[in-house]
Amino acid sequence: MALIDELRRALKRQAVLTAREACVAFECDALTAHRQIPDIVVLPESVEEVQAVLRICRAHGVPVVTRGAGTGLSGGAKPVAGGVLLVLSKLNRILELDPLRRIARLQPGATNLSISNAARPFGLFYAPDPSSQIACTIGGNVAENSGGVHCLKYGLTFNNVLQVKILTIEGEALTIGNEMQETCGLELLALLTGSEGMLGVIVEVMVKLVPRPERTELLLAAFDDIARCAEAVAAIIAAGIIPAGLEMMDAMTIKAAESFAHCGYPADANALLLCELDGVSADVDWQILRVSELLRTLGATLVRQAADAAERDRMWSGRKSAFPAVAKLAPDYYCMDGTIPRRRLSEVLAQIAALSQQYGLPIANVFHAGDGNLHPLILFDAGKQGELHRAEELGADVLGLCVAAGGTVTGEHGVGIEKLGPMCLQFNADELNAFHAIKAAFDPAGLLNPGKAVPTLARCADYGALHVHQGKMPHAHLPRF
């Protein structure tokens, strides 16, 4: 085949995989229910090689799907049949780290955690910390505009990226952004961040490093009522305090996390709040006092402050292992990712519980409460006929609830292939057309990651037929309270 020959001439021979047994390792990202064995996998080792791959694919009219570490949760890196999977994991070097300028310049395959590790000797760190940070790559983080537990205070990937270098599908190199993070012309960096590999291939990223806080403290609070816990979250923020992390868990998650991680959570609590406060020492002093007092006033049954770094790590370990802990409760779980206005929290949780009952599938809830980002975990057994499909239907309904509450179908995991349907609930045809036109401005032939991130209008027509009956809003059958 001419395409494969050309790729083999442009790259090292072993950097082009076509054998099924080699390609199968790349058949999916972390959305494992959707697989496609790629026909061709390329693993370039330089920007020039990436450029060559793109020019060859462009000339042949062959689709290109870019992949970093494959930790994405929405199927954004799922291979496309007949296409080339462009794996950037070998481009994993830290090109420059300058403590004076507080920047790091990275190849796209550098892992998120490697940045903070390299910055640590200088008292600096890279703030966004998605839970997959040990494996996920900075290129993937930019493509998804990844979040993490510290977003409310430190921002998303967008707020921490200074500059990216991309290659267009034509192989043309563009440098977007600058060290000052100042807009020059149209703010294209915003458009590229979170564009899910649809507009260009990221080949270099410059990020901002920030000083490690002088002091960090962690409070744990237990509640016997999840609504009261949600009130406490609102009260902390209304009191003028922006915690570094503010995480909530429901009863099912607390029990699962405690038996998994033995982290000292009160297993009989109905809701648990972890509140991390950081900053200059004198500010943390008053914030700890104020938050503890608020938590007690608002009915916390237990308020505990970690005595030292070891206890803090132990208290975090439960939250950080919540997904694998919940995974022990059933053969499979499906992680959702919607964001809602915080004031609707109790109401939406009740609606989620009602859906869970209706579908007969349990749902455990963990969330970034500070920014209203929910991660309902749907438990199911893919071995049972039709149960995966039911879980996906339930998931889509949960996202419908988020949109109806004034929120979004994805807070930080991206649309990928997973949320193409629910996107139709959030955006109308004119808005979707604008997205398609933006895509065409960068990639007129539609070769970069085709079929992801933005649904076609035809797909929305089908989805609407399923989800809107007789012109009624979705979920009209659910009680509203």
Helix (H, G, I), strand (E, B) or coil at 68: coil
* Residue 193 within binding range of another protein, rule CB under 8 A: yes
Residues in 27-86 that interact with another protein by CB under 8 A: none
Residues in 212-271 that interact with another protein by CB under 8 A: 212-214, 234-235, 237-238, 240-242
Q: Residues 459, 184: contact at Cβ < 8 Å?
A: no
The burial class, CB within 10 Å (0-12 / 13-18 / 19+), for 33 is: middle
Nearer to another protein, 58 or 413 (CB): 413
Site string for another protein, 136-155 (x = CB under 8 A): --------xx-x---xx--x
* Residue 159 within binding range of another protein, rule CB under 8 A: yes
* Residue 412 within binding range of another protein, rule CB under 8 A: yes
Residue 111 DSSP class = B
In this structure, what token pair is assigned to residue 108? 């796209």
Within its chain, how far is the Cα of 151 from the centroid?
12
Helices 251-261, 309-320: axis angle to 10 degrees equals 120
DSSP H helices in 62-205? 112-119, 138-144, 151-154, 157-160, 188-192
CB under 8 A: which stretch of 31-39, 207-215, 309-317, 350-358 binds another protein? Answer: 207-215
Residue 93 DSSP class = -
Among 91, 203, 340, 404, binds another protein (CB under 8 A): 340
Among 75, 407, 421, 474, binds another protein (CB under 8 A): 407
Residues in 351-390 that interact with another protein by CB under 8 A: 368, 370-373
Among 22, 134, 184, 309, binds another protein (CB under 8 A): 184
Minimum distance, C-beta of residue 372 to another protein, in the bound complex (Å): 5
Residues near another protein (CB under 8 A), total: 89
CB-based contacts of 430, cutoff 8 Å, min separation 6? none
Angle (CA) 377-353-242 rounded to 5° is 65
Among 343, 390, 459, 475, binds another protein (CB under 8 A): 343
Dist. CA 259–CA 372, nearest whole Å: 26
In this structure, what token pair is assigned to residue 40? 């061709």
Helix (H, G, I), strand (E, B) or coil at 305: strand
* Residue 121 within binding range of another protein, rule CB under 8 A: no
* Residue 89 within binding range of another protein, rule CB under 8 A: no
- The b-or-e profile of 123-144 (16+ CB within 10 A means b, else e) is ebbbbbbbbbbebbbbbbbbbb
Dist. CA 172–CA 262, nearest whole Å: 52
Nearer to another protein, 285 or 347 (CB): 285
CB-based contacts of 471, cutoff 8 Å, min separation 6? none
Minimum distance, C-beta of residue 73 to another protein, in the bound complex (Å): 12
Torsion angle, CA of 246/252/258/261, rounded to 10 degrees? -80
CB under 8 A: which stretch of 23-31, 46-54, 105-113, 430-438 binds another protein? Answer: 430-438
Minimum distance, C-beta of residue 210 to another protein, in the bound complex (Å): 9
Minimum distance, C-beta of residue 94 to another protein, in the bound complex (Å): 18
Nearer to another protein, 159 or 292 (CB): 159
Residues in 268-327 that interact with another protein by CB under 8 A: 279-283, 285-286
Among 121, 185, 383, 479, binds another protein (CB under 8 A): 185
Among 310, 437, 458, 465, binds another protein (CB under 8 A): 437
Dist. CA 113–CA 93, nearest whole Å: 13
CB under 8 A: which stretch of 13-21, 292-300, 308-316, 403-411 binds another protein? Answer: 403-411
Minimum distance, C-beta of residue 435 to another protein, in the bound complex (Å): 5
